[in-house]
Each structure stands twice: as C-alpha cells, then as structure tokens.
Structure 1
Amino acid sequence: MCGIAGIIDFTGRPVDSGLLQDLCRCLSHRGPDDAGIWTAQAPGFSVGLAHTRLAVIDPTPEGHQPKTDQTGRCAVAYNGELYNYRELRKQLPGPFRTTGDTEVVLAACMHWGPEAVRRFNAMWAMAFVDVERRAGHLSRDPIGIKPLYWAFHDRRLVFASELSALYRIPGLPRQIDPQAVALYLTLGWIPHPYTIYRDVRKLSPGDRLSFDADGPKEPEQFFQLDRPPGPPPAYPDAVRELRRRIEQAVVAQRISDVPLGAFLSGGLDSSIVTACLARAGSTPVETFSIGYADHPRYDETQYAEMVARHFGTRHHAFRLTFRDVLDTVEPVLSHLGEPFADSSLLPTALVSRHTRQHVTVALSGDGGDELFAGYWRYLGHHYLKRYRRVPRVLRTCVIEPLLKLVPQARSNRLLDRLRQARKLVRGDLADPIDTHLAWARIIDQQQAADLLGRDLAGGATEFLASMYRDAPKRLRPDAVELASLDRILLADLAIGLPADMLCKVDTASMLHSLEVRVPMLSVDVVNFAASLPIEYKMQGSLGKRILRDAFADVLPETILHREKMGFEVPVGEFLRNELAPMYRDVVTPAVLADLGLNPSTAKRLYDEHLRRRADHNEVLWALLVLCHWKSRA
C-alpha cells in the first residue's frame, strides 16, 4: 500500500521537484519503504508524480514508483493491490521487467486505455499519464477502499491520497464549505464527493476522472453492480455460492511477499475471514485483537481467543487501558486532514499499531454488516414494525413520555437498551429512507437547527435524503424495483461504507504503515450479495442470516449466535472527565463562531451532558474533532 500525489499543469509550467519531494515526506507514513518522483513535459502540458511505497508484492527495488514504460512516455502512480495481476499479465503483450502488479497496471492502461480498470480485481487509487498524448486519468476502486482527493485550480489538476498532503501544494483555496460542516455535524463524516473545503473533492468510488490537453473532464462512473440474470437462486444454493465466493476472495487476497495476518475481533465477519485463511494455508495464521482491561463490557478478546484456539492461529491479544486510548487522542486528531468523528478510529489506530509490529498486511472482515444487514439500524426496521402495532395512545401517552424521563447513558446493558428504544421512536417516520437517516444522525433535527441555523440544518437533511434516494440507482439501474430495505443497503454500500468505515480503516492503518485488505468487499462477493433478497439476509430480528448459514459448519456455535458488539470507545464519560480540559480549551466560542456555529447551543449541549441530563457524546465528540482540526487548518 502506498501514498500518491501529483500535479498536472495544462499550461506547461514546470512542476517543482522540491514540492514533489515535500509531498513524499508528507505521505511517508503510507509508504516508508521507498519514495520517488517523476516529471515530464510536452507542449502546453507538464506533469509531476510523487509516490511513497509500502513494499508488499515484489518488494525489490524494481517495484519503485512512479512506474514508467520503457520509452518514458507513460507513467503510473498507483496505491493499491491488483489481486488478478498474474491473469492479466498473460493477456498483455509485455515484455515485463518486474514480477509485481504495478507494471501490469501500467501495461493494462496502455493497452486497453481507460477501460482497463473494468478488468481489475483490486483495491486502488491511481493516476495514469500518457505524456505524448497529453492525456490520462485518475481512478478509484469500485467500493472506495482507497481514497483520492483532487482539485482543479489555476489550470492545474492536483491530487493526493490525503487532504493534508494536497494542501502542501501552494495556491489552493482554503475556504471551508458550510454545507460540508452541516453534513459532518449530521452524520459525523462528510460523504463523497464533498470535503470540508469548497474547492476540493473526493473522487467517488467507481469513478474515473479523465483529462487531455484541454484539462480535466467531469468524473464519470465506470462501475455498476451486475443486474441479476433472473430470480435469485434457491436459498440452499445461495448459501453454497456465497461461501464459495468468500473463500475465493480470501484466497485471492492472500498474495503477499511480506508477512500477512488477520484482524480477529471475535465477531462473525472477522471469524469467517480467519477461518478461510486458516483453511487455505498450511501454516498458522497470525491473528490480532484488542480489548479493554478497564471495562469488560467493551472487551471481546475472550471470543477472539476462542476462535484463535478453534483454528490454531498464532494469536496476539492486546488489552488496552483507557489511558492508552486517551493518549492516542491528540496524535490521531492531529493526523486528520479533515474532520472525522467516528470515535472507533482510536482503537482501530491502536490495533493497527500493534499489528504492524508483527505483519505488514492484515485481512479484515469489514463490509459484512453493510452487505448482510448486520447493524442495528437495519434490524430497527423490523422492530419499528412491531412497535407500530402497539396502540397509538399507549405509545404517545405512556411509552414515549417515560422514555424521555430515563437517564440517557450507555453505561450498562439496560440503559443502552433504553437508548436504543429512544432512537427507535425517533425514527418513526413515514419514509424508510427518512427513518434510516434519523437513526444514522448524531444530532436531532431541532438541536441541529439551533447549532447550525434552521436553513443550513434543514438543507443538510433534505440533501442527505436526496443522496440516499439516488444512490441505489447509481449502483443498480433496476434499484427502483427493489424492496425499501434492499435500497437502503445499497445506499449505505454507496455512501456510508466508503465515507465512514473504509475511511476509518484507511486512516488508522496507514498512519502505522499497515495494509488492510477487505475480502468481503471483493466485487465478486459484493455483486452476489447485492443480488440476494432481503429475506436471505434478515429473518425477523436476526441479521446476517445467510452469512451465518454459509459458515455454520466451520465456526464455533457461540460465535455464530452471539450478539454484535461494536468497536466502541466510552467518549461520553471521557468528555465528562479526562477530556473535559481539552474540550474546554479547544471548543471555544471564538472557534465555533468562526465555523458559523452557535456557541450558546454548543454550551447548552455540553452542560446537559456534564449533568447527565442527556447523552450528547456523539455530537460533542464531533465538535471537539472539528474545532481541533480548525485550530490546525
């Protein structure tokens, strides 16, 4: 895995090699093994590429990037892994000078043109340039596993793996986008193609941005899910086919010339990946988990150790104290290129740091919840149907008033259940998309209006609803024919998965130079999972039905039937105690006002949280992250 950056100037101004070297230094954590730059010019056209390398496949000097062809006409800066590079190599003319995948990527783009990316079984973000033609493209993998930021300003197309690197390039406007702030304070993250800055964009998953001598074109979508050829297979056949595809994806993603292991939380998805790895190889798999020594409720290590024993892995369990988590707050927040408020970023960074001490590559079970309806917010639609059967007078006059009186906290199982009940009631809306987004919000509509202003808060809500209604059609043209929950799963696959989960994993792992692969998100698996009806994935209040059945003969019974446990951090308590001084120092009225936020509303939310009159941990954490980022921007 690597870091890439570059400048393409459509007036022919020479690209500063010193600036490219600076971009390499900024991205060195993504690729500590090697760094390289490349510059070229043609009439009215100049280009500079920067690359930092984490050597995984062919870790010899021949794997150096940016990679050029023998004539020096074409070059690629590539961040990713091409799992089918050996098969593609056989289809390309060659000759090949290396044994790695990057040269295959370059040859494919030269031979097949921009359509080459449709043939890739890979995760990637890359830039390809043909200097003689004064043309090329940027592209990002179909699921959005690897990030790519870009901007077009002053006749220059600039891009980078991280936003902080992009802003090493002089002259880029730094105007904060108020709509992006509103989206961030609604969800805790900023959906693509937007960023915190008005003039910078994320390249959307499955998009290609082509350019020629006249400049960049509008990004175009090159990927859509396959339309199912007919009715879904019978359930037993679907179970067998899903297992085959997941096993095949894990085997494909085992390729590595450096040590490889797997994250193992003890949950269903990571246990399945570990099982497939163990059954595919002859040596023990290296597995890694973390837990909390201070709080058993947040500790899954006993389940991880159960799976490790079952498959004979070489297991490494790290038990953190809350002090360990608190000590990582400042360095992780200082690393962010834009605000990102998923607090599970902290333990993900810690497990990545520990894992990197043993291996260079780790496989993860990420994506299983979005593909197979594992999250509470999917099961919530089932619970909401049952709740609506309760007589309205009982709901509105008894249950809902009582729920408002209960302390808002998640410090024990009962209070957490009551918190979920309040959340359920908040989503009792007519449109399933509106319900789903109500559950995804980190702040309710009235509080958002008070904090952001009614127009901006209302605009963000309407904009997100529109995004979620349109996203399924982007992935599948026939999405309008699907059940509402099927469309919601597609929307989360298109929006929330890359912008939240995959962003978190890339940020945390690459901070510590660890490559994370996600076999559940192989296009082959995603295509099949998305073609299955919702009843194959959910059965009443049981999520991941088909995934459980596909591996029922492999996993321990306890793992198959245990409740999902989040990778949570008790930030609510931290904000009342250990992080209170930091919060007061960072989230000041002046910074809030500068961001267009209402300081008095922010103060009220924090006071209510401190006095335990409400649990505002998600939005308060988001404010801390935002203001911390603003102090460094």
Structure 2
Amino acid sequence: MCGITGSVWLRDHHRVDDALISRMTHVISHRGPNDAQVWADRSHRDASGNPMGVALGFRRLSIIDVAGSRQPMANEDGRVRMVFNGEIYNYRELRQRLQGSGHRFATEGDGESILHLYEDLGTDCFAHLNGMFAIAIWDAKQNRLVLGRDRIGQKPLYYSFKNERLVFGSELKSLAAVPGVCEQIDPAAVDQFLTYQYIPHPGTIWKGVHKLPPGHFAVLDSQGFRVQRYWDYDPSREIAISHGDAVERMRELLSDSVRMRMRSDVPLGSFLSGGIDSSLITALAGDHTETPLRTFSIGFPIADFDETAYAAQVAKHLGTDHTRFEVTPDAIEILDKLVWHYDEPFGDSSAVPTWYLSELTRQSVTVALSGDGGDELFAGYDRYRALWLSQKIQRLFPVHRAPGMGLIQRLPDSNRRNSVVRRGKRFLEAIGQPTVRRYMNWLQIFPESLRASLYRDDFFAELPDEDPVAFLESAWERSSGRDLVTRASTADVLSYLPCDLMTKVDIASMAHGLEVRQPMLDYRVVEFAASLPVRYKFRGRRGKLLLRDAFGDRIPASIFTRPKMGFGIPIANWFRDEFRDLLGDTMLAPDAKIHRFFRPEAIAALVAAHQSGEQNHGYRLWSLLILETWMRQTQGV
C-alpha cells in the first residue's frame, strides 16, 4: 500500500525537474512512511526524434516483502518501469505461471507480477489481477505510459493531460503541486457535490483534472491520450441457480477472498462494528490465524451512535483479541485535517469516525480487514426496503395525493438518527416520483429545488445543461430489466461505493499509514452477487438473506436480526451546539468564500431553520461547511 505520482511530457519545455517530482512525491508521504524513491528519464525521444521525458515518484508502506520490492520497479532489461499502489491478492498464483513461462523474479513481493504480466499481455494484464490497485507503467519499448485502476475503485488515481503533458497521482495534492494544473473550479462539480456529497468520476473539483474510472486503463502514446474500459460485467443478466448451489458458491467465494487477503508480512487485524458484514469477515479471518485475531471497534458517548456492545458480543463469541476505543468526536479539531487530506470537497460525515478508527487501529496493526460492500451487494440498506415498499404502496393507491400530506411534511424534524418522523417524511417526499428519481430522493443531500434556491444567479448561469442525476441514472440503466432492489443496489455498486465509501476509507486510512482490505469487494463476489435472483438476497423487507443462509452458524443469530445503525456521528446536534460559533465565523461571515456560489440569505435561512428545530439540515450544513473550509484552504480561490 503506497502512494504513486509522476508525469510524461511530449515537449521539453514542459519537463518535470527533480525538485518538482520530489514535491509531488513528498506531499503524499503519509501514504507511504517507509520509503521514498523517484526516477526520471529526461533524455528520451519519441519515434519521430522529438524530445520527451518521464518521471515517476513513489512512497511506500511496506506490507509484503518488507525488505525488498522497492519502486519504481524495472523489468530485466530496464525498459519497462512501474509504480503501483495497492495489493495484488493472487500474486502467488500469477508468479507460478509467469515463472513457468520464463520470467525471472528479483523480489518476493506482489508488484513484480504486474510488471512481468504486462510484458506478456500489455494492457490485457489488468483483467488478470485480483486486487485493489492504481498502477502506472512506463514502456520505453513502445514510448507509452499506461495507467490502470482496479475494478471496484478501491484505490484512487487522478490525472490531467494539458499542454502535451500528463501528470498523475494517488491524490489530487500531487497534481496541485504542478503549476498550471489545479487552477479553475468546475461549477458542475459544485452542483454534483451538493447533490451527492461527493464529486462523481471522472470529474473532480478542478476543470481539466479527472479521476480514472474504476475498471479502466489509460494510455498516452503517439496516438494521443485515451481511456478504455477493461472490466464490464453485465448486471442485467440473472443466472439460474438453485438456492443450495448459491449458498455453497457464496461460502466458497467469500472464504477464498478472505484467505487471499490474509497474506501479509506485517501485523494484521480486523475492524469489528458488530454488524453482519464485519462480523462475518472477522469470523472467516479467524480460520487462517494460529493466534486470536486482533479486532477493533470505536464507540461514542451518545447511545444512538454507539454499537460497540454488539462488537463485544461478537468478539467474545469468536474469541478475538478485542480492543474498544471510545472517543468524543471533536470535528472542530480535525476539520482542517480532514479537508486537507480529502483534497476536494467530500461531505460524508462518517469520514470523522473512520478517521478516528484508522488512527487508533494503526497503533496496533498495519493492515485491517473491513466488511465494506455487504450492504450494496446483498441489499442491506433501509432505502432498498423503502423502495420496495413504495412500489407496492404506489400500485395500490397514490399515497402522495392523500389528504394531510402537507401537514405531515411540516412536522418538526428529530435529531434522532432513526426517528419515525424523519424517515417517514423522506419516504413520503419520494413516493410519487418516477422510480430512479424516487431512489435519488433518498440519496441526495440537496434536492434540486433547494439547490436552485441557494445558487446565485450568475453561478446558476455557469452550470451546464446536464442534470447531476444523470450519473446515477446511467448506473441504474446498467441493470435494465431487473427488479427494483437489484437496480438500486447495482447503481450503488457503480456510483456510491467507489465515489463515496472507497474514497472515505482510502483517504482516512492512508492518512495514518493503515492498509484496509475489503474481502466483500473481490470482483468474483461482486459479479456473483449481481447475477443472483433477488429472492436469495432480499425478501419480505429483509436483506442479506444469502449471507445469513451461508454463514448463519458463524456468528450470533441476534446479529442478523438487530436494527442496522450505520457508522455516523451526531451531526444535527453539533450545528445546534458546538458548531454554532464556527458557522458564524465561516459560512455566515461576510467574507465567506462560498458566497461566490450561494446567496448569503439562503445559507442563513438553512442555519436558522436547523437551529430552531424546524428542519434537520445537519448533513446539508456539514457539506456547506466542508466546501467553505476547502475554499479557505485553497489559496487564490
């Protein structure tokens, strides 16, 4: 697990000198505290004899082959070089195959398998990798740079191709170190951020700077720069499989995925929230350890946001060496750190507990397993049940036209995360809309009408005609013809999972030099889950049925039936208490940076409605505060 960066330039006056590639590498030193290397070839010429050059930078967090596997790594004749962030879990199997075809290995690490696989297969190599990765390969034989990102988007990779120079990196801050790259805020990205609480790929907050989408590779050569998909599973296809065979296949796939992710030369543990997913991963990981597995959970002093009692129950059942951390979240204290590390506006407030959990876990281990992905793959979210229920109700009678709906919508909101009033209001707001728009209503932070009331006229005029919801609609259409729950979960796998959850976990964990591995997101598990009939995953308003049927004997039965809590913080309370003064000093201040986009009186109205208890705008205010803090950190904006 590491950080990578680099550049290729096609004209000598755009070259990256030693000082610049060192800055690009140093600024992501938190991703790799164990080693730093740079390499450059500034004497290279293209096929026409024109001067060109390449520079690669690498920061290492040593996990496998700790004493070796330094990067940038070269093949036998030195004409192919690579930097790589992530883990290749099937590297031992690939190594045997490659040695059999004559390749000589100089290290014991997982990265060298990529290098030799590329020599044999070129860009087809990515389809043979089982892992999480962001890869850059300089091929002097063909005068080209190849970038590749894993199928699910667990590892980030940003790039910009301007003025015949490509720059790339694991984090945006590497690109921002290059003059002329991160210059103009993209208005469309601001609109997307307020919609989703993240900025969807391939865009970023900066014009001309992009995220390489999951399951894609990019090539820069004499033909120009192009991006191409290499993984394209078909979620519209449902397989015919018996329930018994599905259970058996589920056991095989997830058990093997955990086994492969237990390979490590440094201390390894597991996050344990006490939910179904982390409990199952922890149980399966225990099959591959001779000593009790280290497990970690984090608790908060507010009961609505603390599920560590369930984690303790599972830990006792499984016999793990369990550590419970308790913290009082101080978002004011870590706000600037969070915003700096995430590089662009990122509004998921669960980044706060993820940050604390990563920081504290890293004191004991270097690698942690996580249950991420189970809700998306096996229909675990409450919103899937809401979608299913709304469809059934809507077929019987148009509830959204019933008398008294207006009165219900005017009921004051509750601070409690799972209050009946709060959930009921969101449900009723969406029930009369077209299906994908109905689902979007449960996802979006600022609905379209509220965004429009917030925007200044001049900013509104800068926005493109494309609706931000088009990103979700495109993901939704990938499972055309399937049932609503499958379509919603597929859309989440292709949008929310890589853009929100994977971003949150990668940045929070790598800020502390912790590697997080997610066995549920093995691409074989993802493809299998997508192909299953919905009745094996979801039935009668209950989700994750296949996980219960396949692994119900591994963890306490009560874990499968307890209410889902999620991983949150008391954000609504904060904006009525400890954040009250902060709001006045930042986004309510006369010199607030976000006034460039938003009407001050509209922001003030949101704050007033929230603090009076009339509405719960906690998540919206958090997004605005994140954006304001980011703009204050970004010099010259």
Further displaced range: 383-392 or 237-246 = 383-392
Choose the corresponding residue for 1:331, options 332, 337, 350. Answer: 337
Give the structure 2 partner of residue 249 of structure 1.
257
Q: CA deviation at 1:472?
A: 5.0
Q: CA deviation at 1:232?
A: 2.4
For the residues of structure 1 that align with 2:506 and 2:207, how far apart are their CA atoms? Answer: 23
CA distance change for structure 1 residues 57 and 622 in 2, over 3 Å: closer, same or farther? same
CA contact (8 A) 2:3 2:60 kept: yes
Give the structure 1 partner of residue 312 of structure 2.
305
Q: CA deviation at 1:593?
A: 5.3
Opposite residue 591 of structure 1, the aligned amino acid is A
State whether structure 2 residue 342 is matched by structure 1 residue 353: no
Opposite residue 16 of structure 1, the aligned amino acid is D
Q: How does 1:190-269 map to 2 (within 5 A)?
A: 190-217=199-226, 219-225=227-233, 231-269=239-277
Q: How does 1:428-447 map to 2 (within 5 A)?
A: 428-447=431-450
Residue by residue over 1:161-197, the C-alpha shift from the partner in whole angstroms, topping out at 9 and shown as x without a partner, is 1112210012214111111100101111111111111
State whether structure 2 residue 48 is matched by structure 1 residue 48: no
Q: CA deviation at 1:453?
A: 5.7
SS in 2 for 1:164: helix
For the residues of structure 1 that align with 2:465 and 2:178, how far apart are their CA atoms? Answer: 34
User: Percent same amino acid at aligned positions?
Assistant: 38
CA distance change for structure 1 residues 503 and 173 in 2, over 3 Å: closer, same or farther? closer
Q: CA deviation at 1:624?
A: 0.2
Give the structure 2 partner of residue 410 of structure 1.
415
For the residues of structure 1 that align with 2:395 and 2:424, how far apart are their CA atoms? Answer: 15
For the residues of structure 1 that align with 2:64 and 2:417, how far apart are their CA atoms? Answer: 46
Q: CA deviation at 1:297?
A: 1.7
Further displaced range: 33-42 or 46-55 = 33-42
For the residues of structure 2 that align with 1:365 and 1:141, how far apart are their CA atoms? Answer: 18
CA contact (8 A) 1:12 1:42 kept: no
State whether structure 2 residue 515 is matched by structure 1 residue 515: yes
State whether structure 2 residue 303 is matched by structure 1 residue 296: yes
CA contact (8 A) 1:373 1:543 kept: yes
Give the structure 1 partner of residue 180 of structure 2.
171
Residue by residue over 1:234-280, the C-alpha shift from the partner in whole angstroms, topping out at 9 and shown as x without a partner, is 12221221122111100011010000111000000000100100123
For the residues of structure 2 that align with 1:337 and 1:470, how far apart are their CA atoms? Answer: 26
* Equivalenced residues, count: 622
For the residues of structure 2 that align with 1:612 and 1:355, how far apart are their CA atoms? Answer: 37
For the residues of structure 2 that align with 1:128 and 1:419, how far apart are their CA atoms? Answer: 50
For the residues of structure 2 that align with 1:565 and 1:203, how far apart are their CA atoms? Answer: 32
Residue by residue over 1:117-173, the C-alpha shift from the partner in whole angstroms, topping out at 9 and shown as x without a partner, is 110001000100112321131110000000011101121000011112210012214
Give the structure 2 partner of residue 471 of structure 1.
475
For the residues of structure 1 that align with 2:164 and 2:324, how far apart are their CA atoms? Answer: 51
Q: CA deviation at 1:465?
A: 3.4
Q: How does 1:359-508 map to 2 (within 5 A)?
A: 359-388=365-394, 392=398, 396-398=402-404, 400-411=405-416, 413=418, 416-452=419-455, 456=460, 463-471=467-475, 479-508=479-508
Residue by residue over 1:297-341, the C-alpha shift from the partner in whole angstroms, topping out at 9 and shown as x without a partner, is 211111001111111100010011244x54323322232200000
Give the structure 2 partner of residue 6 of structure 1.
6
Q: CA deviation at 1:75?
A: 0.6
For the residues of structure 1 that align with 2:208 and 2:438, how far apart are their CA atoms? Answer: 32
Give the structure 2 partner of residue 183 of structure 1.
192
CA distance change for structure 1 residues 460 and 622 in 2, over 3 Å: closer, same or farther? farther
CA contact (8 A) 1:445 1:457 kept: no
For the residues of structure 2 that align with 1:436 and 1:78, how far apart are their CA atoms? Answer: 37
For the residues of structure 1 that align with 2:463 and 2:332, how far apart are their CA atoms? Answer: 35
SS in 1 for 2:585: helix
For the residues of structure 1 that align with 2:234 and 2:64, how far apart are their CA atoms? Answer: 30
For the residues of structure 2 that align with 1:433 and 1:366, how far apart are their CA atoms? Answer: 24
CA contact (8 A) 1:81 1:101 kept: yes
Q: How does 1:542-553 map to 2 (within 5 A)?
A: 542-553=542-553
When normalised by structure 2's length, the TM-score is: 0.94
CA contact (8 A) 1:151 1:201 kept: yes
CA contact (8 A) 2:239 2:533 kept: no
For the residues of structure 2 that align with 1:627 and 1:356, how far apart are their CA atoms? Answer: 30
For the residues of structure 2 that align with 1:166 and 1:540, how far apart are their CA atoms? Answer: 49
Q: CA deviation at 1:115?
A: 0.5
Gapped runs of 5+ residues in structure 2?
A: 46-50
Choose the corresponding residue for 2:93, options 87, 90, 104. Answer: 87
For the residues of structure 1 that align with 2:79 and 2:250, how far apart are their CA atoms? Answer: 43
CA distance change for structure 1 residues 257 and 625 in 2, over 3 Å: closer, same or farther? same
Q: CA deviation at 1:580?
A: 1.9
Opposite residue 492 of structure 1, the aligned amino acid is D
CA distance change for structure 1 residues 230 and 339 in 2, over 3 Å: closer, same or farther? closer
Structure 1: which 4+ aligned runs deviate by more than 4 Å? 226-230, 389-395, 453-462
CA distance change for structure 1 residues 383 and 227 in 2, over 3 Å: closer, same or farther? closer
Give the structure 2 partner of residue 144 of structure 1.
153
Give the structure 1 partner of residue 48 of structure 2.
none
CA distance change for structure 1 residues 389 and 401 in 2, over 3 Å: closer, same or farther? farther
Give the structure 1 partner of residue 616 of structure 2.
615
Q: CA deviation at 1:33?
A: 0.3
When normalised by structure 1's length, the TM-score is: 0.94
For the residues of structure 2 that align with 1:529 and 1:393, how far apart are their CA atoms? Answer: 33
Residue by residue over 1:69-91, the C-alpha shift from the partner in whole angstroms, topping out at 9 and shown as x without a partner, is 23221110100101111111122
Further displaced range: 495-504 or 314-323 = 314-323
SS in 2 for 1:42: coil
For the residues of structure 1 that align with 2:179 and 2:320, how far apart are their CA atoms? Answer: 49
Q: CA deviation at 1:381?
A: 1.1
Give the structure 2 partner of residue 533 of structure 1.
533
CA contact (8 A) 1:10 1:46 kept: yes
SS in 2 for 1:463: coil
SS in 1 for 2:213: coil
CA distance change for structure 1 residues 524 and 149 in 2, over 3 Å: closer, same or farther? same
For the residues of structure 1 that align with 2:596 and 2:525, how far apart are their CA atoms? Answer: 42
